[in-house]
Structure 1
Amino acid sequence: MVHQKINLDRLSPEEALITPTYASRALTSAVPKYEIPEGEMPPAVAYNLIRDELALDGNSRLNLATFVTTWMEPEAKQLMAETFDKNMIDKDEYPQTAEIELRCVNMIARLWNAPESEAATGCSTIGSSEAAMLGGMALKWQWRKRRQKEGKPTDKPNLVMGINVQVCWQKFCRYWEVEPRFVPM
């Protein structure tokens, strides 16, 4: 989602400031919402401000409409926390991370029964929507290649999906010029 810069002159003080309801000596005045405050604040206070706002979000464990992981082994959380500082795209700086990614691609290729005689291609992604976009692009390119080989037009790809499909597929169709065809469920 693309965000626009907020015009602070058009906001009332209530709209432009966060006024925490809990007491803290570190917060003697409201905190600006859309600009960096003049003074510093202790890390614990910044954490609590953001954590309190995030508490207004829905509960992910009760969200059955999206595919999110709400529980994992503590060791998985620990590994994630220990690798937050790695830039996954920098394969030269993090060669072992790249090696583990290669192994995962191989494991998934075999899990999905990719023919041993053919190359399987894959990469890591940060989220499922990104993965769907990459998978959709690969699908479109394979479709185009097959159609060219058959001497058929390649200018009107379409994707048939259930009307209840995850929204990333609708975005894929819009971004990559694929006609969506929805099937009632």
Structure 2
Amino acid sequence: MPIHTVRDHSHSDIEDIYSTRLSEHGLPKYRMPEGTSEPHAAYALVRDELLLDGNARQNLATFCTTWVEDEVKQLMTEAVDKNMIDKDEYPQTAEIESRCVHILADLWHAEKSWDTIGCSTTGSSEAAMLGGLALKWKWRARREAEGKDTSKPNIVTGPVQICWKKFARYFDVEIREVPLKGDALGLRPEDLRDYCDENTIGVVATLGVTFTGVYEPVEALARELDAIERDLGLDIPIHVDAASGGFIAPFIQRDLVWDFQLDRVRSINASGHKYGLA
């Protein structure tokens, strides 16, 4: 009868790691080490240090993905050497990204989903800033065509994630963050007339306010902006920051109108990492 033996990884790996030369001396934290390091030992030491972090499975504070299928991890590992920004060298990666943009445009009811413009980003902050820059440039081009001043752009928001304050600082835009009054949990239509003017590049509606999770009423905000255009001649677009709602509302709140079904909505950002076990 053949005999099959199995190595006891739980015990031997510990011996292998903590009996190596690498573990006998403190590794420098702020400079390159003098010599080489055994890969499995370096991995184990970094992994052990990361145990001091919180457990993602128990993180309900920052909406992080807490679990994904092994196939997702495998794809990420196999694609780690692809520089997706170099679309000439990696055309198929670029093609898959383009398909994802059009899939989301269709999910969010874009009129011509196959002809939309969009891209992946490194996070919500970058995505929000690209949306904000598009609002600023469109506003500036319109003002210049009319021979008007372009030096004082502002953006109107409710209680927003900090990235919008960064956008305002980085790109010289005044942020008009409407304070919460009474029992309000977000931006309300009746707030807009007091904060919007000819220098308003856009209104940010948040689909999933960071500290409450509530959806701001995008459809009602759009109706009020329609009324403002009718009464005052101000054509002010909406950017929807759907970071934590963009992949929830289409499936859970199917009757909610918040996306490109509204002409007033010109751009949307959402985050693929904010959906827990989804």
How high is the TM-score relative to the length of structure 1?
A: 0.75
1:50/1:96 CA distance change after superposition, 3 Å = same
69-78 or 40-49, which deviates more: 69-78
1:17 aligns to what? none
The residue aligned with 1:133 is 129
Q: Secondary structure at the match of 2:18?
A: coil
Shift of 1:33: 0.5
Shift of 1:94: 0.8
Separation in structure 1 between the aligned mates of residue 120 and residue 172 of structure 2, nearest angstrom: 24
Match of 2:167 in 1: 172
Task: Classify 1:85/1:142 alpha carbon distance in 2 versus 1 (closer, same or farther; 3 Å).
Answer: same
Change (3 A) 1:66 1:154: farther
> 3-state SS of the aligned residue for 1:181?
strand
> How far apart in 2 are the matches of 1:59 and 1:181?
37
Equivalences for residues 77-116 of structure 1 within 5 A: 77-116=73-112
The offset of 1:177, in angstroms, is: 1.0
CA distance in 2: counterparts of 1:81 and 1:117, whole angstroms: 30
Contact 1:66 1:166 in 2 (8 A): no
Unpaired stretches in structure 1, ≥5 consecutive residues: 1-21
Q: State the partner residue of 1:31.
A: 27
Secondary structure of the equivalent of 2:177? strand
Cα contact 1:88–1:97 (8 A) shared by 2: yes
Residue 155 in structure 1 maps to residue 171 in structure 2: no
Matched residues, number: 163
RMSD of the TM alignment (CA)? Answer: 2.5
Contact 1:140/1:157 (8 A) holds in 2: yes
Amino acid at match of 1:71: W
Q: Tell me the percent identity.
A: 63
Asked if 1 retains the 8 angstrom alpha-carbon contact of 2:102 and 2:114, the reply is no
- The one-character-per-residue Cα deviations of 1:131-151 (angstroms, maximum 9, x if unpaired) are 222122122223333444566
* Residue 87 (structure 1) shift: 0.4
Alpha-carbon distance, 1:71 to partner? 1.9
- Are residues 83 and 118 of structure 1, via their aligned partners in 2, closer, same or farther at CA, if it must alter by over 3 Å? closer
Higher relative contact order (CA 8 A, sep 6+): 2
Q: For each residue in 1:54-88, what CA deviation from the matched residue of structure 2 results, as whole angstroms up to 9, or x when unmatched?
A: 22223334434434222223222221111111001
1:120 corresponds to: 116
User: In structure 2, how many angstroms separate the alpha carbons of the residues matched to 1:117 and 1:79?
Assistant: 26
- 1:57 has 2:31 as partner: no
CA distance in 2, matches of 1:117, 1:77: 29
SS in 1 for 2:24: coil
CA radius of gyration, larger in:
2
2: CA distance, partners of 1:111 / 1:159 = 27
Is residue 143 from structure 1 mapped to residue 139 from structure 2 by the alignment? Answer: yes
Distance 1:85 1:114, change over 3 A: same
Kindly tell me: are residues 38 and 167 of structure 1, through their superposed partners in 2, closer, same or farther at Cα, counting changes over 3 Å? same
Amino acid paired to 2:107? L
Where does residue 72 of structure 1 map in the other structure? 68
